[in-house]
């Protein structure tokens, strides 16, 4: 009997509006409200609502034998509240079944684990708090942004109290070993690791609708045969992918929903496969080995490293300048500045600045609202520069009087703990 561990990543960034040099000092509304709303509502129609309804039916139909896991970023939850509350309710319905696990991650889908252990821990605390508030759960498993992992990052995650973490089954780390087993962190062996089977995951996430693929069309029965095959040895097959695979990246007319609807029945009928959440799979199997990962890896691009976000001078300059403001933000202790600081950390901003080519470049272009990496860099740096100016002004004013709240960054933000219907400063 092999275990299928299905995990879905749900994330939507707050997208910045076109912000020019001449906006600085006068315009402190950084977010593109219209674009954020339209994209979120489109993805809700095409993916979140139909897929959540499908999963709920599968759980009921199979009386709890079908199980899966999610991590939903704080920025995605904020947008659900503001633009599509029915999506949030549908996730709560899934949570109520007891067959869906919600994993912790960084609140704003940030690269904090690469910059600041303190910020990393704070973002994880924020995220666990919002999961408790919305879904009534306290996560025990962790998924870092974009599956970013190293021995040291795993040690930090274990120190926060988590006992399971997701990572990429990268060839350059595994060598001859298989991703289809549970492993342990090299520094704190109490932390168990589930590694993504990237080939079987990408068969669904990327190759499903590719008519030039030699395995097209992919059916549930064919896929189950692969899972049961001797060429797929192991104990737990980890299928990790973006949730937007269903209906957004792979459109409904490709048959992706029909495939997912048929998969659980085909797997259970084989009598050789079962489904489990991340924590259930981690508890069921003992680690077969320690995984040594001294250098940081991720699930992105051919290199499976962090060059998708920190691979060129533009990205590194923006990243360094952002985190140079950390002490100022902490000194100010203003929730509105904290909010802007949080969404400026979202990894997507740095992803847009990538200068990759060939197949990796195609993937980056698909997710990029900018025409070039340089345009993304200039836009981000203009926003960041204005934020820094406002931050410095607030700090200068602090000894004389309480720092003024930053100007509001979006006219429709209903996502903070404060009232958001009135204008504020950023």
CB 83 within 8 A of CB 41: yes
Backbone phi and psi for residue 381, each to the nearest 5 degrees, phi listed first: -70, -30
Give the single-character DSSP code of 20: -
Q: How far apart are CA 421 and CA 408, in angstroms?
A: 10
Structure-block tokens of residue 330? 């902490």
For the chain, percent helix, then strand, then coil, each to nearest 5?
A: 50, 15, 40
| 230 is a catalytic site residue | no
Exposure class string for 275-308: b at 16+ Cβ within 10 A, else e: bbbbbbbbeebebeeebebeebbbbbbeebbbbb
Task: Count CA atoms closer than 13 A to 269's CA, side-chain side.
Answer: 9
Using an 8 Å Cβ cutoff, are 56 and 94 in contact?
A: yes
- What distance in Å separates the CA atoms of residue 193 and residue 123, rounded to the nearest whole number? 21
Place of tokens 């988590």: 162
CA distances (Å), origin 376, targets 175, 329, 352, 355, 380: 37, 24, 6, 11, 6
SS3 174: helix
Handedness of CA 196, 199, 200, 202 (dihedral sign): positive
Residues contacting 242, CB < 8 A, separation 6+: 8, 9, 11, 205, 249
Q: Using N-to-C axis directions, what is the helix angle for 313-323 and 373-397, rounded to 10°?
A: 10
- Secondary structure of residue 2 in the 3-state scheme: strand
Q: Which of 318, 409, 406 is nearest to 30 (CA)?
A: 409
Catalytic residue among 78, 101, 105, 146: 146
Catalytic residues: 146
């Amino acid at each position: 009997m092999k275990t299928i561990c299905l995990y879905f990543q749900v994330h939507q960034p707050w997208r910045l509006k076109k912000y020019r040099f001449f906006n600085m000092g006068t315009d402190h509304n950084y977010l593109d409200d219209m674009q954020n709303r339209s994209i979120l509502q489109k993805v809700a129609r095409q993916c979140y609502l139909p897929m959540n309804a499908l999963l709920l039916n599968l759980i009921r139909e199979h009386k709890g034998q079908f199980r899966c896991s999610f991590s939903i970023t704080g920025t995605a939850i904020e947008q659900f509240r503001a633009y599509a509350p029915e999506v949030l309710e549908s996730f709560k319905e899934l949570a109520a079944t007891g067959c869906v696990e919600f994993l912790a991650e960084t609140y704003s889908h940030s690269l904090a684990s690469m910059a600041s252990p303190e910020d990393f821990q704070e973002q994880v605390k924020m995220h666990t708090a919002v999961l408790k508030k919305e879904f009534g759960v306290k996560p025990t498993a962790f998924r870092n942004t974009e599956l970013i992992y190293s021995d040291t990052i795993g040690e930090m995650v274990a120190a926060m109290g988590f006992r399971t973490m997701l990572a990429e089954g990268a060839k350059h780390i595994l060598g001859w070993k298989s991703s289809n087993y549970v492993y342990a962190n090299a520094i704190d062996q109490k932390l168990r690791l589930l590694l993504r089977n990237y080939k079987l995951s990408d068969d669904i996430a990327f190759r499903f609708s590719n008519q030039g693929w030699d395995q097209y069309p992919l059916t549930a029965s064919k896929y189950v045969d692969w899972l049961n095959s001797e060429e797929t040895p192991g104990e737990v097959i980890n299928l990790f992918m973006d949730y937007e695979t269903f209906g957004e990246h792979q459109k409904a007319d490709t048959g992706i929903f029909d495939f997912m609807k048929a998969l659980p029945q085909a797997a259970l009928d084989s009598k050789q496969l079962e489904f489990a959440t991340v924590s259930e799979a981690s508890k069921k199997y003992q680690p077969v080995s320690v995984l040594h990962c001294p250098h940081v890896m991720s699930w992105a691009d051919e290199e499976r490293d962090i060059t998708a976000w920190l691979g060129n001078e533009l990205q590194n300059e923006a990243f360094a300048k952002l985190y140079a403001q950390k002490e100022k933000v902490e000194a100010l202790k203003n929730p509105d500045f904290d909010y802007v600081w949080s969404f400026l950390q979202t990894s997507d901003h740095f992803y847009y600045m990538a200068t990759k080519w060939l197949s990796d470049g195609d993937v980056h272009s698909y997710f990029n609202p900018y025409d070039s990496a340089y345009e993304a860099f200039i836009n981000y740096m203009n926003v960041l520069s204005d934020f820094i100016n406002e931050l410095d002004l607030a700090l200068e004013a602090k000894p004389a009087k309480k720092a003024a709240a930053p100007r509001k960054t979006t006219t429709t933000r209903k996502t903070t703990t404060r009232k958001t219907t009135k204008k504020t400063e950023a």
